[in-house]
Amino acid sequence: MGEQFDYRSAPDPDMMGDPSGPEPSRRGVLFWLGAGINGLAALLIACPIIGYLVSPWRSGGWQTWIDVGNVEDFPKGQTRLATYVNPYRTPWDGYTANTPCWVKREASGSFTVFAINCTHLGCPVRWFPESNLFMCPCHGGVYYADGSHAAGPPPRGLYTYETRIKGNTLQVKGGRLPTLQESV
Ligand code: FES
């Protein structure tokens, strides 16, 4: 009678899928399939974490100078609504890439440009020249003509853009949305 084969002590050359060995077993294929799926899941989890960690260095790159309009379109001593096109738009943004803002031109000729969003929850504020106030239709937030907070729930005044005149064109530095931590 021949020697009995003990499967418990037998080596398993298929386990690690040795390419020079015999055909991989079902166990070996499942092992590598599981390892691949786990690696993919780890990569998907790591992507937003890496994005969060590098975002402080990247955020400065989302700002650029944008044309708002000809200087002559804004009479001295008035506040007017203007719209610029967000340069960081995507093809599916459509009309929402058009970003409104309030342009105030002082009697001296200097400009202050306010983001249209209320600093409470972001509703678009409206300018009322009769009362010389910006008012928010959502919860009654009120701002003075210089954008400072006058009444209601907003925690601060309106966000302002950095401005400059290039040739005869008023430009603002914008692109990303303002937050309480970082205005535009
Ligand atoms: S969003 Fe303007 S007061 Fe609330």
Among 118, 125, 158, the mutation site with the greatest number of ligand 1 atoms within 8 A of its Cβ is 118
DSSP structure string for 62-129: GEEEEEEEEGGGS-TTEEEEEEEE-TT--GGGGGGGEEEEEEEE-TTS-EEEEESB-TTT-PBPEEET
Give the separation between CA 100 and CA 86, rounded to whole angstroms.
Answer: 10
Q: Give ligand 1 pocket residues (Cβ under 6 A).
A: 118, 120-121, 123, 136, 138-141, 152-154
Q: Measure 141 CA to ligand 1 centroid, in angstroms.
A: 5
How far, in Å, is the centroid of ligand 1 from the Cα of 137? 7
What Å distances lie between residue 97 and 21, 50, 56, 103, CA to CA? 60, 28, 24, 18
**Encoded tokens for 25:** 């077993």
Residue 61: phi and psi, rounded to 5, are -80, -5
Closest by CA position to 118, among listed 152, 148, 158:
158
Can you tell me which residue has the tokens 């058009």? 98
Of 116, 117, 121, 142, best ligand 1 pocket probe by most atoms within 8 Å of the beta carbon: 121
Q: How far is the CA of 99 from the centre of ligand 1 (A)?
A: 18
| pLDDT of the residue at 77 | 94
101 C-alpha to center of ligand 1: Å?
Answer: 16
CB 14 within 8 A of CB 25: yes
Centroid of ligand 1 to alpha carbon of 175 (angstroms)? 22
Render pLDDT for 130-149 as a digit per residue (tens, 0 to 9). 999 999 999 999 999 999 99
| Structural domains in the chain, sorted by start | 64-175 (2.102.10.10)
Query: Which carries the bigger pLDDT value, residue 8 or residue 64?
Result: 64
Residue pair 115/136 in contact (Cβ under 8 Å)? The answer is no
pLDDT band at residue 91 under the 50/70/90 scheme: confident
Ligand 1 atom index nearest CA of 153: 3
- Tell me what pLDDT residue 14 has: 57
Nearest-angstrom CA–CA distance, 174 and 184: 6
Q: What is d(CA 127, CA 147) in angstroms, rounded to the nearest whole number?
A: 10
pTM of the model: 0.67
Q: Which residue has the higher pLDDT, 24 or 48?
A: 48
Q: How far is the CA of 150 from the centre of ligand 1 (A)?
A: 13
Q: What are phi and psi of 25, to 5 degrees?
A: -80, 170
Contact 70, 168 (CB under 8 A): yes
